[in-house]
């Protein structure tokens, strides 16, 4: 892996070598100076060259070992991972692991051993017998809307999940309220892993602070969505490039909202 941007500080930066978790964690550290009670919402997604966000329903065919190292690092830095229910269903989400390499860093920041997974769902058609709900290190949160079926809410709670209703004007979750709600519970370093429909809503609501986009050197064609599929913004929002790493033809970019 090589750092392409910001410009290499020394010839060593251009060495193609494996970056350790601590180095990656330093590069991707959340802002240290967030105002009290404010969350920082970062997204991490992988795309093919032609913009596909999955191949036959999975993101794995677009990913690589280096992409998974960054994925794991971003989880290791987060207080909470916010994810759409379809991604949980398609990708078979499991609870986040506590990883020794991040333990000291997390403890120093007052974080628990692993991020909380927060699943966004309206219908709650989720398998609550899965370890994601029954055996996480930290109870999984289910974020739902005002029209959530009562018996599914009860099933989620019986499994051990914490169900929070984030109601707005519509029947589903008011995504604009999610960062503030989680920040109010002390979860300020937020990571969303999509999918495209949830991420599109976060971006359209103007609450996406940072985009970590992995560009995979593959072409998929087909009808898979791009990484955001939500209501259009009146004016495209500008992001500033923070860093670019390269590994095996993959580009690992990081952009922050201007």
Ligand X SMILES: NC(=O)c1ccc[n+]([C@@H]2O[C@H](COP(=O)([O-])OP(=O)(O)OC[C@H]3O[C@@H](n4cnc5c(N)ncnc54)[C@H](OP(=O)(O)O)[C@@H]3O)[C@@H](O)[C@H]2O)c1
Q: What residues contact 69, with CB distance under 8 A and at least 6 apart? A: 19, 21, 24
Q: Cβ of residue 78: shortest distance to ligand X, in angstroms?
A: 15
Query: Which of 3, 145, 161, 202 touches ligand X by CB under 6 A?
Result: 145
Question: Closest-CB residue for ligand X?
Answer: 195
How many alpha carbons lie under 13 Å from residue 114 in its C-beta half-sphere? 18
| Nearer CB in complex with ligand X: 45/245 | 45
How many residues form the binding site for ligand X (CB under 6 A)? 31
Longest dimension (CA), the chain: 60
Q: Is 193 in the site for ligand X (CB under 6 A)?
A: yes
Query: Which of 1, 46, 163, 191 touches ligand X by CB under 6 A?
Result: 46
Query: Which of 72, 86, 97, 103 touches ligand X by CB under 6 A?
Result: 86
In sign, the C-alpha dihedral spanning 35, 177, 256, 2 is positive
Q: Which of 63, 70, 62 is nearest to 18 (CA)?
A: 70
Query: Which of 76, 95, 115, 172 touches ligand X by CB under 6 A?
Result: 172
Cβ-contact 30, 189 below 8 angstroms: yes
Cβ-contact 230, 200 below 8 angstroms: yes
Query: Which of 85, 96, 182, 205 touches ligand X by CB under 6 A?
Result: 85
Q: Cβ of residue 21: shortest distance to ligand X, in angstroms?
A: 20
Binding mask 87-126 for ligand X (x = CB under 6 A): x--xx----------------------------xxxx-x-
Cβ-contact 70, 24 below 8 angstroms: yes
Q: Is 59 in the site for ligand X (CB under 6 A)?
A: yes
SS3 readout for 77-139: HCCEEEEEHHHHHHHCCCCCCCCHHHHHHHHHCCCCCCCEEEEECCCCCCCCCCHHHHCCCCC
Q: Cβ of residue 72: shortest distance to ligand X, in angstroms?
A: 14
| Nearer CB in complex with ligand X: 95/111 | 95
Q: Which of 235, 171, 227 is nearest to 196 (CA)?
A: 227
Q: What residues contact 203, with CB distance under 8 A and at least 6 apart? A: 228, 230, 233, 237
Pick the piece of the chain touching ligand X (CB under 6 A) from 27-35, 100-108, 169-177, 232-240: 169-177
Query: Which of 82, 175, 182, 212 touches ligand X by CB under 6 A?
Result: 175
Q: Cβ of residue 11: shortest distance to ligand X, in angstroms?
A: 33
6 prior amide bond cis, ω within 30: yes
| Nearer CB in complex with ligand X: 79/193 | 193
Q: Cβ of residue 19: shortest distance to ligand X, in angstroms?
A: 20
Contact set with ligand X (CB under 6 A): 45-46, 53-54, 57-59, 84-87, 90-91, 120-123, 125, 145, 172-173, 175, 193-198, 201, 227, 229
């Amino acid at each position: 892996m090589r750092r392409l941007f910001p410009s290499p500080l020394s010839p060593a930066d251009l060495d193609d070598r494996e970056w350790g978790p601590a180095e990656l964690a330093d590069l991707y550290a959340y802002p240290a100076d967030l105002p009290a009670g404010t969350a920082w919402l970062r997204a991490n997604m992988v795309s093919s060259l032609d913009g596909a966000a999955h191949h036959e329903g999975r993101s794995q065919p677009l990913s690589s070992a280096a992409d998974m190292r960054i994925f794991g690092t971003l989880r290791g830095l987060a207080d909470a991972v916010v994810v759409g229910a379809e991604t949980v269903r398609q990708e078979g989400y499991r609870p986040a692991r506590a990883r020794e390499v991040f333990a000291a860093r997390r403890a120093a920041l007052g974080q628990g051993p692993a991020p909380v997974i927060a699943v966004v769902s309206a219908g709650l058609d989720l398998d609550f017998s899965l370890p994601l709900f029954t055996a996480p290190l930290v109870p999984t949160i289910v974020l739902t809307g005002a029209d959530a079926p009562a018996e599914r809410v009860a099933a989620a709670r019986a499994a051990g999940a914490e169900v929070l209703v984030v109601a707005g004007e519509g029947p589903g979750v008011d995504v604009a309220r999610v960062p503030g709600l989680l920040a109010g519970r002390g979860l300020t370093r937020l990571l969303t892993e999509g999918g495209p429909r949830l991420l599109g809503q976060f971006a359209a609501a103007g609450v996406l602070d940072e985009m970590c986009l992995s560009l995979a050197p593959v072409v998929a064609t087909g009808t898979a969505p791009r990484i955001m599929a939500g209501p259009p913004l009146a004016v495209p929002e500008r992001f500033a490039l923070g860093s670019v790493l390269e590994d095996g033809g993959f580009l690992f970019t990081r952009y922050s909202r201007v």
